[in-house]
Structure 1
Amino acid sequence: PMNAFILTCAAALVLGPLETGQAAPDSKDLLPRPYPERLRWWTEGRFGIFIHWGPVSLKGTEISWSRANTNPKCPNKGPIPAEVYDNLYKQFNPVKFNAAQWVRLFQQAGAKYFVLTAKHCDGFLLWHSQADDYNIAHSPFGRDICAELAEAARAAGLRVGWYFSPMDWRDPDFRSERHARFLSRMQAELRELLSRYGRIDLLWFDWDGREPLYDQARTYALVKELQPHILINNRLDLGPGNNNRQILSPHADYYTPEQEVGAYDDQRPWESCMTTSRRNQWAWGGPDDGVKSLDTCLAMLIRCAGGDGNLLLNVGPMPTGEIAPEQAGILRGIGAWLDQYGQSIYGTRGGPFKPGDYGVSTRKANTVFVHILDWPDDVIRLPAIPAKVVRSRVLTGGKAEVQQTADGIRIAVAEADRRPVDTIVALELDRSALEIPAVNVPSPVPLTLKAKATASNVYRNLPEYGPDKAVDGKLDTRWATDAGVKAAWLELDLGREVTFRRAVLHQAYPELNRVRQFALEAWADGQWQAFYRGQTLGAKLNARFDPVTARRVRLNITEATDGPTFWEVQLFP
């Protein structure tokens, strides 16, 4: 996926803004909208694998976006000269590619479908094409990647999806006075891709923020003629002023948040596409790229299901044709977790408790699965629902104390029985959980909300990364510091002396593991005094300490590998 006109490359993903999520309209009366029958396999599967691959893997740079611009009407401005990028296929010989091994790995991960970049924005085709010579048949490898993957997937019962870029930034006819010639080739490519490889279950179009001149009426008609049952995402119709949460055509089945978990929406199908790459790169990022933690990737899947959406988790195969061991390890780890707890993900709907500080919930038949991803307190407090809890159990082991009153539901689990990633408490109700409208789970208001904030450093002195963004109550804005900063502080003036016992630090991009030493400090007796010290931070630190009373508080990062950045810094009574 390439919302890279917003998220341009790995560096920008670390330092640039993220698109704001848009929740569906909130209504107390809405029940989860039933899925159309043709979408059931996809929505019940909840989990797919994205594959970004091509000759660019030889360079370890981002697919398409690292190619230099040769068309002013296209947004790519990469560092690799076009004459170099466009000839990488002559060296592309992934002799260790084994379609059956890939499919076996995806099934070990618990995924129910995959989506391969059959054609990305650079125009290279991973199948044998007569429509365009720029394809895998003319590489030293020569074999038809799409054919082999489709055959292996069908033999194993895995659903098949193609990513197809309607853009071609290499084609000089694209968005020119010869655009009609481009459209003819583009539709010929699509015809090949959808007519040669048996039943194709899913088609994933992309967009680049420019005018979507893709002859949509004929293109959709062609797709439906060749694959009547296919599912199609929302991006073919998107252009200037749109976002990837919009569905603009009756032919589009679902929308596609990118590099973030979508907001709760049980009225329209959605799928978040996210990366295993530590640097958020889609294509293979080289041996130093690394991966996010298994806990982080599991939380993506759990939060997507709890928001009533799917996760499309990306891997970028190496130029050898193998999926890197660290990426494969993440997939197997997810599969091992799903082997134990998949009943709380597969075939569920999100809710009825909307995502909150505690985590998320999913539901199936008469059961609500409460996924406790964090313990803001020793007791999880959920709002009242119009159903009686008749029994409860802890899927992840141990016991839970569940109390239901007219005011709501309280869940307590002994600390020894809480799991690092997800403590799952199943609540069996006296009625169908799908008959309950989703309800908001109130979050405690931090003492730091809208506090006066100052910082030692701000990324390029840009106001959108200012210290106030760490106390604005939003998890899609952040305080960021310049690249190369190895120490920094953020000071908060609470306006008056208050007493607090808990701090929550939401670190942006925790997979980069930047913060190595830090302290929380209060101004007292004319000096800063530490009341909590720590080392490495995860995505969210929930720190408890003896009561502190102060007006001025500081997060003091004394050692970092690079510029620290935080979504929110919060204090609670």
Structure 2
Amino acid sequence: MTYQFDRAAYERRIAWYRRARFGMFIHWGLYAIPARGEWVRSVEQMPEEEYLPFFDEFAAPDFDARAWARAAREAGMRYVVLTAKHHDGFCLFDTATTDFKSTNTPLGRDVVREFVDAARAEGLRVGLYYSLLDWHHPDYPHYGDRNHPMRNDPECGNERRDFNRYLDYMHEQVRELCTNYGTLDILWFDFSYDDMRGEAWRATELIDMVRSLQPGVVIDNRLEVSGEGYGSLATAHPAPFHGDFVSPEQMIPPDGIHGEDGSELAWESCVTMNRNWGYAADDHLFKPASMLIRSLVECVSKGGNMLLNVGPDARGAIPPESMERLAAIGRWMRLNRDSIVGCGRAGLPRPEYGRWTRNGDRLFLHLYDRPVGSLPIPEVGRDQVASMRYLATGAEVPVSTSWTHSDYGEILFADLGPDPCLPDPIDTVVEIRLR
């Protein structure tokens, strides 16, 4: 039977996700102990025997899933996504398929169970990341694979490896995640490459199983692509395993993302605070909070979401640099969340001094710079405006009647007062209600 894309069902399940706009990614696992990033085994071509000792050290005395979830909620995030299994094959859940799991480490706990319970208790939507790759499983291709740590070791040949046996294992782990942890809101697969795409993962079978167990779950597009590529949702004939959203990585699309027919696609930029997803002790190149706030606004202004990453350390704590930025974002979001949550494109040209977001008849002008004199708003007609207010305080922003712009009578100007500085130097939001 030929697969038929059900547009109505798709729009129902993606609706909450389009409104949420802001989420937290959490990368955590054994790689937090060497503290050189989550790809440490691949980058250093580290043999398994050198990596396994970290399993016996994984005690994480500061691990507190409720603290993670609280940090996300207080930052204004609406959903959280945790790495249930990353490329190294280590599982943060109590799977029956392998002993290589958190319940067998000194920590001795089902991290996914505690995470989903904590996220729900904080009122957050729950997502689980699952790597299609597995550098621990003996049947996953080793020699010659682009990413495997043993890719250049001819003694690790693939002659006796049975990839279908690995796929049975992988499918069963996904079944466990979809069965044992209640309703999942997001399933975030990672990632396809070279010939490992689509049906190479037995993707139709996998998604049929997932949809039977979690009919409302939102799924990314990486059964088909990686951080680059849109996937078949962008075409006139989506595959049975199409993703529900596009997942650009470490960049924000110049004009959002559109399908071949010009329609807007749901998308989410996943972004690190520094340069690594997993904890990296020597990586201190953290983006300032102002940049992260403006990046969130940029995503929303282009019709997308932002998934902002934290990488807890070996003890299980979110690094202080990340917590400081989450707190700063939270302070801004508490005053300005209405300009993010439920918002999207305004359908207006980008303003000279910032960006637009919109929710129905509410326009939100995000001001990054203060012009000399009154603020010109040529994108909105004077007769369209019912009111203008600072979103953070509700204070009126009057329409300017200054003689200084009398030569431009057709343009709406806002009176920002005598202070040459904006109330919020990061992003001052003016709410314009339309008639």
Task: Report the 3-state secondary structure (helix = DSSP H, G, I; strand = E; otherwise coil) of the residue aligned with 1:269.
Answer: coil
Task: Say whether 1:426 aligns with 2:426.
Answer: no
Alignment of 1:36-435 (within 5 A): 36-63=11-38, 65-68=39-42, 77-78=43-44, 80-175=46-141, 178-211=162-195, 212=197, 213-238=200-225, 243-244=229-230, 247=233, 249=239, 251-262=242-253, 263-265=255-257, 267-277=264-274, 280-286=275-281, 289=284, 291-355=286-350, 357-374=352-369, 379-383=375-379, 388-396=384-392, 399=397, 401=399, 409-411=412-414, 413-414=416-417, 415-430=420-435
AA aligned to 2:59 is N
Q: Which residue in 2 is equivalent to 1:571? A: none
For the residues of structure 2 that align with 1:120 and 1:304, how far apart are their CA atoms? 26
* 1:306 and 1:354 in contact (8 A); partners too: no
For the residues of structure 2 that align with 1:326 and 1:216, how far apart are their CA atoms? 39
Deviations 1:35-85, CA, capped at 9 Å, x for gaps: 82322222211111000000110111111x2214xxxxxxxx435444222
AA aligned to 1:429 is L
AA aligned to 1:243 is G
Deviations 1:152-198, CA, capped at 9 Å, x for gaps: 22233221100011111333422456111110000011111111111
Deviations 1:95-135, CA, capped at 9 Å, x for gaps: 21112222222111111110001111111110111112221
Deviation of the 1:297 alpha carbon: 1.4
User: 1:411 and 1:257, CA in 2 relative to 1: closer, same or farther beyond 3 A?
Assistant: farther
AA aligned to 1:162 is L
What TM-score does the superposition give when structure 1 sets the normalisation length? 0.62
Deviation of the 1:325 alpha carbon: 2.0
AA aligned to 2:91 is L
For the residues of structure 1 that align with 2:372 and 2:249, how far apart are their CA atoms? 31
For the residues of structure 2 that align with 1:356 and 1:82, how far apart are their CA atoms? 53
Task: Report the 3-state secondary structure (helix = DSSP H, G, I; strand = E; otherwise coil) of the residue aligned with 1:416.
Answer: coil
Alignment of 1:382-531 (within 5 A): 382-383=378-379, 388-396=384-392, 399=397, 401=399, 409-411=412-414, 413-414=416-417, 415-430=420-435
For the residues of structure 1 that align with 2:75 and 2:385, how far apart are their CA atoms? 33
Q: Which has the larger helix fraction?
A: 2
Q: Which moved more, 1:147-156 or 1:361-370?
A: 147-156
AA aligned to 1:66 is V
Q: Which residue in 2 is equivalent to 1:549? A: none
* 1:162 and 1:204 in contact (8 A); partners too: yes
Deviation of the 1:34 alpha carbon: 13
Deviation of the 1:87 alpha carbon: 3.4
Counting aligned pairs with the same residue, the percent is: 33
AA aligned to 2:74 is Q
Deviation of the 1:294 alpha carbon: 1.4
Task: Report the 3-state secondary structure (helix = DSSP H, G, I; strand = E; otherwise coil) of the residue aligned with 1:312.
Answer: strand
* 1:353 and 1:382 in contact (8 A); partners too: no
Count of residues in correspondence between the two structures: 386
* 1:163 and 1:205 in contact (8 A); partners too: yes
Stretches of structure 1 that go unaligned for 5 or more consecutive residues are 1-32, 69-76, 431-573
For the residues of structure 2 that align with 1:151 and 1:98, how far apart are their CA atoms? 12
AA aligned to 1:128 is D
Deviation of the 1:149 alpha carbon: 1.0
Deviation of the 1:139 alpha carbon: 1.2
User: 1:337 and 1:116, CA in 2 relative to 1: closer, same or farther beyond 3 A?
Assistant: same
For the residues of structure 1 that align with 2:113 and 2:284, how far apart are their CA atoms? 29
User: 1:406 and 1:163, CA in 2 relative to 1: closer, same or farther beyond 3 A?
Assistant: farther
Deviations 1:15-47, CA, capped at 9 Å, x for gaps: xxxxxxxxxxxxxxxxxx998232222221111
For the residues of structure 2 that align with 1:35 and 1:395, how far apart are their CA atoms? 33
Stretches of structure 2 that go unaligned for 5 or more consecutive residues are 1-7, 142-157, 258-262
AA aligned to 2:50 is V
AA aligned to 1:252 is G
* 2:32 and 2:278 in contact (8 A); partners too: yes
Task: Report the 3-state secondary structure (helix = DSSP H, G, I; strand = E; otherwise coil) of the residue aligned with 2:17.
Answer: helix
Task: Report the 3-state secondary structure (helix = DSSP H, G, I; strand = E; otherwise coil) of the residue aligned with 2:24.
Answer: strand
* 2:185 and 2:216 in contact (8 A); partners too: yes
For the residues of structure 1 that align with 2:69 and 2:25, how far apart are their CA atoms? 12
Q: Which moved more, 1:103-112 or 1:357-366?
A: 357-366
What TM-score does the superposition give when structure 2 sets the normalisation length? 0.81
For the residues of structure 1 that align with 2:367 and 2:16, how far apart are their CA atoms? 27
Alignment of 1:541-552 (within 5 A): none
For the residues of structure 1 that align with 2:116 and 2:189, how far apart are their CA atoms? 18
Deviation of the 1:226 alpha carbon: 1.2
Deviation of the 1:288 alpha carbon: 5.3
Q: Which has the larger strand fraction?
A: 1
* 2:269 and 2:307 in contact (8 A); partners too: yes
Task: Quote the RMSD (CA, aligned, Å).
Answer: 2.9
For the residues of structure 2 that align with 1:417 and 1:62, how far apart are their CA atoms? 39
Q: Which moved more, 1:80-89 or 1:201-210?
A: 80-89
For the residues of structure 1 that align with 2:398 and 2:252, how far apart are their CA atoms? 28
AA aligned to 1:102 is W
For the residues of structure 1 that align with 2:353 and 2:63, how far apart are their CA atoms? 42
User: 1:402 and 1:128, CA in 2 relative to 1: closer, same or farther beyond 3 A?
Assistant: farther
AA aligned to 1:323 is I
AA aligned to 1:160 is V
* 1:187 and 1:219 in contact (8 A); partners too: yes
For the residues of structure 1 that align with 2:382 and 2:424, how far apart are their CA atoms? 29
User: 1:239 and 1:99, CA in 2 relative to 1: closer, same or farther beyond 3 A?
Assistant: closer
* 1:382 and 1:408 in contact (8 A); partners too: yes
AA aligned to 1:413 is L
Deviations 1:206-241, CA, capped at 9 Å, x for gaps: 11532212111001111111111100011111279x
For the residues of structure 2 that align with 1:264 and 1:387, how far apart are their CA atoms? 30
* 2:131 and 2:189 in contact (8 A); partners too: yes
Q: Which residue in 2 is equivalent to 1:30? A: none
Task: Report the 3-state secondary structure (helix = DSSP H, G, I; strand = E; otherwise coil) of the residue aligned with 2:223.
Answer: helix
For the residues of structure 2 that align with 1:103 and 1:354, how far apart are their CA atoms? 37
For the residues of structure 1 that align with 2:11 and 2:361, how far apart are their CA atoms? 21
User: 1:400 and 1:310, CA in 2 relative to 1: closer, same or farther beyond 3 A?
Assistant: farther
